[in-house]
Amino acid sequence: MPLVLREARDTLVPDMGGPHGPLPPVMLVLTVLTGLVDAFSYLLLGHVFVANMTGNVVFMGFALAGAAGFSTLASIVALVSFGAGALAGGVTVHRARAHRGRQLQHALLVETVFVTAAMIVTLVSGGPYTGGVRFTLIVLLALGLGVQNAAVRAFAVPDLTTTVLTRTLTGAVADSRFAKGPGSRAGRRLLSAAALLAGAFIGALVLLNGHPTLPLVLAVVLLAVLSTVATLLARTDAPWTRPRDGA
């Protein structure tokens, strides 16, 4: 079997006795979720991301330069809310630092609360999402994704950040044999990019076909499934649940 396919297989069906156990496929599902919510926020909330904060800094620069369609306030609200979510996520995972399964469970439950609240807002308010509704959705989703990113950072699964792909794709090329590197881990890295692409594609597809709430409904379904899995994983004492060195 080619190395790339073997790496992809080992990410999708990991060694449960390995250092990260079932975390790699969980990270991939969260990457799909990132694509879903960022498709929703960018296309319906006015050119703002709730997960990819680098984009918001760039958008803020566009807005300050007077480019049409970008809002300095929306970008600032997203950045501040994401930071607050990251703080909440940090507190959540550090309180359960003795068991990575419980870290995952607690972080997912908190994230689910925020994303579910955002879904309810869309169902109650109806579109288009403007004014206070727009900013409420930005706040709720950025809080949830901030929690997710704090937890993912604590897990430190290589090449599976669920949000930022620039370093992942750089590593796939810069670490390759062609660059005289140690090995690109291209199978895992390409899966990460494909997961984000899939989430963004699905989110945009349903939005463009007149289903504004569906990306968030799908996100909540994914979180419900992952939370159920995490609750089961929180009961195990497998080696991967132990804190990593330096954690």
What pLDDT does 188 receive? 82
The CA distances from residue 118 to 18, 79, 135, 183, 241, in Å, are 36, 17, 11, 41, 31
In a domain, residue 137? The reply is yes
pLDDT over 70 at 181, yes or no: no
CB atoms near residue 97 (< 10 Å): 13
In a domain, residue 122? The reply is yes
CATH number at residue 167: 1.20.1250
Average pLDDT of the residues in 196-203:
96
Q: How far apart are the first and last CA of the chain?
A: 35
In a domain, residue 221? The reply is yes
pTM: predicted TM-score of the whole model, two decimal places: 0.92
Mean pLDDT is lowest, of 13-17, 38-42, 167-171, for 167-171
Selection from 220, 242, 226 nearest residue 121 by Cα: 220
Q: Is the bond into 128 cis (omega within 30 degrees of 0)?
A: yes
In a domain, residue 17? The reply is no
In a domain, residue 96? The reply is yes
Classify residue 25 as exposed, middle or buried by CB count within 10 Å of its CB (0-12, 13-18, 19+): middle
Question: Residues 144-154: pLDDT tens digits?
Answer: 999 999 999 99
- Rounded to 5 degrees, φ, ψ at 146 are -65, -40
What pLDDT does 182 receive? 63
Q: Total structural domains in the chain?
A: 1
In a domain, residue 206? The reply is yes
Question: Residues 47-105: pLDDT tens digits?
Answer: 999 999 999 999 999 999 999 999 999 999 999 999 999 999 999 999 998 999 999 99
What single DSSP character describes residue 17? T
In a domain, residue 198? The reply is yes
Give the residue carrying structure tokens 């501040």: 80
Q: Which helix (H) or strand (E) holds 37?
A: helix 23-44
Q: Residue 174 is part of which domain span?
A: 3-11+28-234
Backbone dihedral region of 23: left (phi > 0), alpha (psi from -120 to 50 degrees) or beta? alpha
In a domain, residue 159? The reply is yes
